[in-house]
Structure 1
Amino acid sequence: MAHRLFWPVAMLAVLLLINLIAFPGFFSVQIRDGHLFGSLIDILRNGSPTLMIAIGMTLVIATRGIDLSVGAICAISGAVACSIILGSSDPGNPGTVAVAVIAAIAISLVLGVWNGFLVSVLGIQPIIATLILMTAGRGVAMLITEGQILTVNSPPFKVLGSGFFAGLPVSVLIAAALFLFAVVLTRRTALGLMIEAVGINPEASRLAGVRSRGLLISVYVFTAFCAAIAGLVLTSNQTAADANNTGLFIELDAILAVVIGGTSLAGGRYSLFGTLIGALVIQTLVTTVYTVGIPPIATMVFKAAVVTAVCLLQSPRTTELIDSWHRRAQLRRTLEASA
């Protein structure tokens, strides 16, 4: 019970049980035209953009930072891609879609460099540095779309958000690939240790030879990359670029997923697997709201309640009480055995 992933997993199990009780066929998965369909598949598909952004957010928070601009980067990424596709003579050409995707990612990486520059070079607080782009980013997206909702009819582009491969949604496969890449990069190399070192004590890590400035820029660039991919998936799923609504408040869901997963906002140790569980909790909670018939406008209230409950259960005081209970129980068993 003292493990930091115990309560998030327990909360996920409770939410799944509630859905099973309200809808007995909740766990059923069907195959239609070679594709998998069902409530569990919907949770994975709809939660993929949040997970993508939460992966990058985990690394940013581990460095004692935060990125509030990911939602705006999502909107910019989708706006750039749709503008290029609509401006071409053949929107259905895979080459055109490839150029649009590459351009959207490239511009997003530049925005990530901008965030990293403000934080690591100019020394601006991360919440302020990223708030600048969060505020201006949607305005930039509006300029790109000229204030219009750009509807795209491009089958190759639509595959990103609603396509299937090997029976699974493409968005789920993209999120899984991004997750595995982050795990291998940070847990199979020294990069993860350096990120934790910078988050725990930036000055000590600098004296130890860690180039914290370049590391911070790299982390914000990777987060922008994750946001760009998520923005392309969201825009593809909507088949339109909506500068006002694409990725709106997704940065809050990503932060909630990271916090639920046990990563401390004070920086240092982090858990990508915990973030995965947190993203599933967030999306399952949204699904539960619809399944049990609760008005959708109350979703934010239930998110807050779940996050509050998990954070209280994960708090140092709760962990201390659980450890104390275990010690007393062990002592009691020892006394009973000796008697």
Structure 2
Amino acid sequence: MNAVVRHRLFWPAVTLAGLLLLNLVFTDHFFSVQMKDGHLYGSLIDVVRFGAPLILVAAGMTLVIATGGIDLSVGSVVAIAGALACLRISDLDDQGSTGGVLAAIGVALALSLALGAWNGFLVAGAGIQPIVATLILMVAGRGLAQLVTDGQIITVNSAPYKLIGGGYWLTLPFGIIVVAAVLALTAFLTRRLALGLLIESVGGNAEASRLAGIRSRDLIVTVYAFCALCAGIAGLMISSNVSSADGNNAGLWIELDAILAVVIGGTSLAGGRFSLGGTVLGALIIQTLTTTIYSIGVPPETTLLFKALVVTVVCLVQSPAFRKKAFHRRARTASPRPAADEKVKVTA
């Protein structure tokens, strides 16, 4: 039993289960999943569907953090990818053209990869601190998204593009299928091949990894590029779901939620070992918490404060050092003290 409690995924799983049960109290038939018009519907499906972009961004952020870095620019990449794709689709004579939509998606994802590689070059090649290197793109990228949209909200009317974030395939939301495919590929590359071990080695000690023959600079560039690619796909999902691109608000602060998801999932910000499964649980916790806030009727002006308090409690509960101090102090308080008039017998 102690081994189960000490497992890194135990407390995130308990937290997610508690939030889901709390929603059941405030929402009738919360666990009900129905089939309508050949599609699955239900609150649980919605939690995963709306949380799909965050899961993608958090998955990429996990690998970046595993190398000892951080990426604050993913929110801007989300906005840029969605804006560029919608701009190109809006210029098409036939927005229903599958070829034209695929070309727009390809351009948006290619730019996302380039932006991620640029972050990686600044970190690994130029030696700039990751938080500073990605902060540059965080600020400039949001301005670039505004330039792409000309400060306006670009709307599109494209059925093929709508499929990415708002469509269904094989009875499931297409976004869930995309997330499952990306996670499966990432898990295969990092856990079935040596890539995961190399990433953890670089995060543990980049210089020692380089001396051991690992091309740490190339690996760091690749990881940042992958993180930006995940953010680009998330941007396509978000803009597709609402059939529009908002360069100012799309993906706003999603980088903070992604970092929280990674931390809640048990990955250390210091780098080294990482857990993709824990990150998925962390992202689902954040999305379920958002759903819970709406369900219990928390006032909008206190939503962020309520969310911050819950996340703080979750992080404290899953902290081994905090639990050791709290429970050890309680055990000492509850232990009986010997009476003052009792004499201690000393035997030879």
TM-score, normalised to structure 1, is 0.93
Partner SS state of residue 215, structure 1? helix
Match of 1:166 among 167, 170, 173: 170
- d(CA) in 2 for partners of 1:117 and 1:136? 17
* Corresponding residue for residue 266 of structure 2: 262
Residues 1:106 and 2:132 aligned together: no
User: Retained in 2: the 8 A contact 1:289–1:296?
Assistant: no
- d(CA) in 2 for partners of 1:188 and 1:308? 34
* Corresponding residue for residue 197 of structure 2: 193
- 1:177 maps to a residue whose letter is A
* Corresponding residue for residue 69 of structure 2: 65
* Within-5 A mapping of 1:199-218: 199-218=203-222
In the superposition, relative to structure 1, how do residues 110 and 44 fare at CA in structure 2: closer, same or farther (>3 Å)?
same
Identical amino acids, percent of aligned pairs: 60
Partner SS state of residue 31, structure 2? coil
Match of 2:228 among 224, 228, 234: 224
Deviations 1:264-295 (A, max 9, x none): 00110110000010011000000001111112
Unaligned runs of 5+ in 1: 326-339
- d(CA) in 1 for partners of 2:301 and 2:183? 31
- 1:146 maps to a residue whose letter is D
Partner SS state of residue 89, structure 1? coil
* Corresponding residue for residue 251 of structure 1: 255
- 2:86 maps to a residue whose letter is C
* Corresponding residue for residue 119 of structure 1: 123
How many residue pairs get aligned? The number is: 326
* Within-5 A mapping of 1:188-337: 188-318=192-322, 320=324
Offset of residue 104 of structure 1: 0.2
Partner SS state of residue 35, structure 2? strand
- 1:272 maps to a residue whose letter is L
Offset of residue 298 of structure 1: 2.7
User: Retained in 2: the 8 A contact 1:2–1:322?
Assistant: no
* Corresponding residue for residue 34 of structure 2: 30
- d(CA) in 2 for partners of 1:318 and 1:136? 39
- d(CA) in 2 for partners of 1:322 and 1:302? 23
Partner SS state of residue 228, structure 1? helix
Offset of residue 24 of structure 1: 2.9
Offset of residue 152 of structure 1: 0.5
Match of 1:53 among 57, 63, 71: 57
Deviations 1:35-75 (A, max 9, x none): 01111011000000000000000000001100000000011
Offset of residue 324 of structure 1: 7.6
Deviations 1:78-105 (A, max 9, x none): 1110111111111110111000000000
Residues 1:130 and 2:122 aligned together: no
- d(CA) in 1 for partners of 2:224 and 2:241? 26
TM-score, normalised to structure 2, is 0.91
User: Retained in 2: the 8 A contact 1:115–1:130?
Assistant: yes
- d(CA) in 2 for partners of 1:236 and 1:221? 22
Deviations 1:109-140 (A, max 9, x none): 11011000000000000000000000000111
Unaligned runs of 5+ in 2: 330-348
- d(CA) in 1 for partners of 2:126 and 2:205? 18
In the superposition, relative to structure 1, how do residues 197 and 323 fare at CA in structure 2: closer, same or farther (>3 Å)?
farther
Deviations 1:302-321 (A, max 9, x none): 32122211221222413546
